[in-house]
Structure 1
Amino acid sequence: MTHPLTHRDKMLTLAGVLLAMFLGALDQTIVSTALPRIVADLQGLDRFTWVATAYLVASTALVPIYGKLADTYSRRTIEITAVSIFLLGSILCGLAGEFGPLPLLGDGMPQLIIFRAIQGLGGAGLFAMAFIVIADLFPPAERGRYQGYVGAVFGVSSVLGPFLGGLLTDHGDNLIPGVEGWRMVFYVNIPFGALALWFILTHMPALRPQGVPRRLDCLAAALLMAGLGPLVVALQLNKVAYPWLSPVTLGLLAAAAVLLALFVLRSLRSDNPILALSLFENKVFRSANAAMFLLGGGFLSLIIFEPLFMVNVLGESATRAGMSLIPLSLGVVSGSMLAGQMVSRFGHYRRWMLAGNVLLLVGLGLMSTLSEATTYTQVLVYLFVCGVGAGPSMPLYTLAIQNAIEPKLMGQATSASQFFRQIGGAMAAAALGTLLTLSLAKAVPATAATSPSSPPAAQRAVVSEGPALPTGATPEGTRQPAHIRQAFSEAISRIYLLVMGVVALGLLATLLVPELPLRKTNAGAPAVVMD
């Protein structure tokens, strides 16, 4: 039966979906610091990057599918399914290699890669459903402050992940005797996931979309996933081993282009498309997603290259390089929550988007001045400024899109915004990583060849195991030779100037986002049904 939700019901439901999203965000980064121990234990050095790539491919490709499912079936059912798949994947990852080679799965490392993909299938839903459920619970005029919590949770998890991963890897065997510490990186999801499930099962309403459910277009879903898979893999490949013009990279990109073109053709003919292409006729949807694509690229690029500067120019340890990102996280939390509160109070989102973009540009301008003379403290201040500027981007663009589209398309529109942000980050990271590699190869050829396959742990900690970059890193806490420090310093400074250009384009796209009055009701939203 239908039942009006109390504020307590809403907040408990919010707690459940945010806890679930926290797990998904945490798992993008928590594995990074455990990878060296995993490789040593499972003997898979030549395939270790796929541990991250498998998760990223699955979690990116499934985001639009979850959005469509949320527009068709009970939101609670979808959320429970996503959390359950994620927990199953976590348990399987923790068991990888425990029972030796398995039929069809191979030995330890192939098992872990497959299980990480399963984990990613659930992880995709944890991100998409957080924004969708919040949209169901609160009207646009109130929604900003609650979506600000999403940005805060994401910011905290991105920094806590590598720290917790290292802690569990080093000391996790003390928690369960006989269990390798790196396995605790996956097992730690179980109690938190169980708590999230309890919140969802006991307090979340069904939130069923209005109207009669229609069958999912399985062919379109298959084409979309088949197209996004090779695209993300092509972006993630180490461009030293597989340059942009290599047969492997070009083949993957060509396959992605053909399959995605077939998806578009199928969507144009389908009476129940996975993503209603008519959404792109909406100016808010079109311009806000363009801005998220560019700003997602700018933000991810910001956090990829800063640890490289810390390790290779200032001579900091990987641990201190990772800790240097804490001010960035604090800035994101502050900016996200402040912007959300201000929009809910005064009702204008565009001015806060623009203010955030400008402040992010200022922070990136400061980052572009990095040199050997820059101090550790200066970098922390610069990162905090960048974080405060980037904070409003996560909740407000999604809010603007949700406010501008029909409630019946809420799931598709919301998941599309998350998808464009993720793809923008992957594409920018891949392109700028290649430019850094080429720049270092030209300045110091030996440096580019030092480590073509793996960035330092501090770098990998915050980029969801992003594209591999050359490090040239010496043991922790020791300084590079002067010519290598100079090469890294100049190359990273130029990278940040390019990132400024990306964010400036995002600012221009934001100027095209119309300012619409925020709706004060949730008319047309899914019915609140208490089973």
Structure 2
Amino acid sequence: MLTLFGIMLAMFLGSLDQTIVSTALPRIVDDLHGLDRFTWVATAYLVASTALVPIYGKLADMYSRRSIEVAAVSVFLVGSMLCGLAGEFGPLPLLGDGMTQLIIFRAVQGLGGAGLFAMAFIIIADLFPPAERGRYQGFTGAVFGTSSVLGPFLGGFLTDQGTGLIPGVEGWRLVFYVNLPLGLLALWFILTQMPPLRPSAEPRRLDYLSALLLMTGLVPLVMALQLNKAVYGWADPYTLTLLGVALLSLVLFVRRSLHHDNPILDFGLFRNQVFRTANAALFLLGGAFLGIIIFEPLFMVNVLGLSATKAGVSLIPLSMGVVAGSLLAGQMVSRFGHYKRWMLAGLLVLLGGLSLLATMPVNITYGRVLLYLLICGIGLGPTMPLYTLAIQNAIEPRLMGQATSASQFFRQIGGAIAASILGAVLSFTLAEGMPVSAAPAPQGVVSEGPAVPAAAAGGARSPVMRAAFSKAISRVYLVNICLVVGGLIMTLFVPELPLKKTNAGPVPEPVPAAD
């Protein structure tokens, strides 16, 4: 349990860092004079943390889990410290000005952050057998939901009130420095309480060429998805070049992996029906989740005319629902031993919540939107622990790291792709619904997804613009519903396997239909 506490604390830091920076960005941009590059502060972290997830999974199958976790936390803390120091010493050789330094150091943070997420699920799989694992993996959803609530609030508080707490240190730098004491506490628990958790097989040399091909495939892919399509459209040469490099590198990666005796991702896993169908569902559901996170605040600001702060606070019920749904589903699965019914039940609840969001009138009350978001959160909660649990239960222990990290990767890459598509849907619908003279100038909305157009303050309250944004966001939620329906269909094909009572032994056979 002490080991569990340490890795949950580390995961909390990685999750917190995805949201805590957003409210500090206006002050950061002002101090570092980097308005033209502000979206890259979020993008650099996302690109690095997405691209490294499969590599962490492979390393976890080759070396001590404790060593990999310590390395991930250490890299994350070094990145946090460097982010806090960005611009303190003026322009630096090779690193550029303060804003460029921050972007580079955020990428370093992301290199560590990728391991905080992937290793948490892998280590939990080592600590607890599948029959008991659900209740503990449910904590990961609770951690994610809690950090989503605390992140924007803590970022704003430290930025506004933190200046002076440490002499000569601006408040926004504390947004990064706050990771240091918590991270060191997590390291202490991991180093002193966690067993080495070494794989049973002898470690083999990592295929560095495959790792390079994977990185040169994923980095430009995520960058192309994150580009503001109002500036770099899909047909823009820069976007096409990134996508071309990504496609070529990923094709070469797959080709090498199929012929290498120690691949980073064993493609034989895709012959496993649980692995194949559960990851397909996660790919779609990752997009649906991010779609709610990105576009619901736009509705609050541009349709209801609320402040950005109140729009951010409105996500608290969603996070509370995720916490409740994740914990409840984990406990029920550990108690009764069936995971598929809870997956399906959660998705049906999510579909109900999204249907309500997709039909919101322009004059809907703030409280009713919060209720709809709570329903969506309860439905999303079981998707956090149960798909990963199903995958881990269905594969050989020697491939645990690769299989677990793959589930995290497909969720993240699905979110990035869907966010880009949903942003295009929003922009296209806005162009349909507003005259050119009334259309707002595109402005970036800082989030985990790409920049999408937002109305200028005040202009969003005109009837034409309110109606246009309402229609556009409703259409976004309709696409989200399609993603969840796709996830539901894939979940129907996930075999129901009895949960193993030990971490050893053969892969279980499917439960008979009569059960």
Q: Give TM class, smaller chain.
A: over 0.9
- Counterpart residue number, 1:4: none
Q: TM-score, normalised by structure 1?
A: 0.94
Residues 47-58 of structure 1 correspond to what in structure 2 (within 5 A)? 47-58=37-48
Are 1:468 and 2:451 counterparts? yes
Q: Give the structure 1 partner of residue 510 of structure 2.
A: none
Structure 1 range deviating more: 398-407 or 176-185: 176-185
Q: In the alignment, which of 329, 332, 341 is matched to residue 342 of structure 1?
A: 332
Match of 2:359 in 1: 369
Separation in structure 2 between the aligned mates of residue 516 and residue 289 of structure 1, nearest angstrom: 16
Partner residue, 1:489: 470
Residue deviations 1:123-163 (CA, integer Å, cap 9, x gap):
00000000000000000000000000001100111121111
Describe how 1:492-511 pairs up with structure 2 within 5 A: 492-511=473-492
Cα distance per residue 1:273-315 (max 9 Å; x no partner): 0000000000000000000000111111012111000001111
Kindly state the Cα deviation for residue 445 of structure 1 after the two structures are TM-superposed.
4.5
Tell me which amino acid in the other structure corresponds to 1:470: P
Identity %: 72
Q: Which residue of 1 aligns with 2:425?
A: 435
The answer to whether the 8 Å contact 1:448/1:472 transfers is no
Would you say 1:228 and 2:209 are equivalent positions?
A: no
Aligned to 1:296: 286
Please give the secondary structure, in 2, of the residue aligned with 1:18: helix
Among 133, 142, 148, the residue aligned to 1:152: 142
Cα contact 1:144–1:340 (8 A) shared by 2:
yes
- Asked if the contact 2:290–2:419 (Cα under 8 Å) also holds between the matched residues in 1, the reply is yes
RMSD: 1.3
Instruction: Using the TM superposition, give the Cα deviation of residue 44 of structure 1 relative to its aligned residue in structure 2, in angstroms.
Output: 1.1
Matched, 1:311 2:292: no
Q: Structure 1 residues 299 and 287, CA, compared in 2 at 3 Å: closer, same or farther?
A: same
Contact in 2 for aligned 1:238/1:453 (Cα 8 Å)? no
Distance 1:302 1:524 in 2: 40
Structure 2 alignment gaps of length 5 or more: 507-515
Return the alpha-carbon distance in structure 2 between the equivalents of residues 228 and 449 of structure 1.
34
Once the two structures are superposed, the pairs formed by residues 106-121 of structure 1 within 5 Å of their partners are 106-121=96-111
CA deviations over 1:139-188 (Å, ceiling 9, x no partner): 00000000000011001111211111111111111321211111111000
- Rate the CA distance shift 1:114–1:445 in 2: closer, same or farther, 3 A: farther
Residues 57 and 524 (structure 1), Cα distance of their counterparts in 2 relative to 1, 3 Å cut: farther
The 2-side partners of 1:262 and 1:171 are apart by 51
Which shows bigger deviation, 342-351 or 34-43? 34-43
Q: Which residue of 1 aligns with 2:167?
A: 177
Residue 138 of structure 2 contacts residue 327 of structure 2 at CA under 8 Å; is this kept in 1? Answer: yes
Residues 96-107 of structure 1 correspond to what in structure 2 (within 5 A)? 96-107=86-97
The runs of 5 or more residues in structure 1 that have no matched partner are 1-10, 526-531
TM-score, normalisation: structure 2: 0.97
Q: Distance in 2 between matches of 1:341 and 1:181?
A: 40
Contact 1:359 1:386 (8 Å CA) reproduced:
yes
Q: Deviations over 1:309-336 (max 9, x none)?
A: 0001111111111111100000000000
Greater CA drift, 86-95 or 169-178: 169-178
Q: Which moved more, 1:44-53 or 1:382-391?
A: 44-53
1:332 aligns with 2:345: no
Q: Output aligned runs, 1:116-131, within 5 Å.
A: 116-131=106-121
Distance 1:445 1:80, change over 3 A: farther
Query: What does residue 235 of structure 2 align with?
Result: 245
Query: What secondary structure does 1:450 align onto?
Result: coil
Tell me the amino acid that sits aligned with residue 366 of structure 1: L
Greater relative contact order (Cα < 8 A, sep 6+) = 1
Looking at structure 2, the residues matched to 278 and 235 of structure 1 have their Cα atoms a distance apart, in angstroms, of 28
| Equivalent pair of 1:275/1:412 in contact (CA under 8 Å) | yes
Q: Determine helix, strand or coil for the equivalent of 1:28.
A: coil
Match of 2:193 in 1: 203
The CA distance in 2 between the partners of 1:448 and 1:404, in whole Å, is 55
Among 59, 65, 68, which residue is 1:78 paired with?
68
Q: Is the 8 A contact 2:443 2:455 kept in 1?
A: no
Q: Choose which of 361, 372, 380 in structure 1 pairs with 2:370.
A: 380
Q: Deviations over 1:324-349 (max 9, x none)?
A: 11000000000000000000000000
> What is the aligned partner in structure 2 of residue 7 from structure 1?
none
Displacement after TM superposition at 1:372 (Å): 1.3
1:180-191 equivalence runs, <5 A: 180-191=170-181
CA distance in 2, matches of 1:323, 1:293: 27
CA distance in 1, matches of 2:72, 2:505: 25
Residue correspondences, number: 506
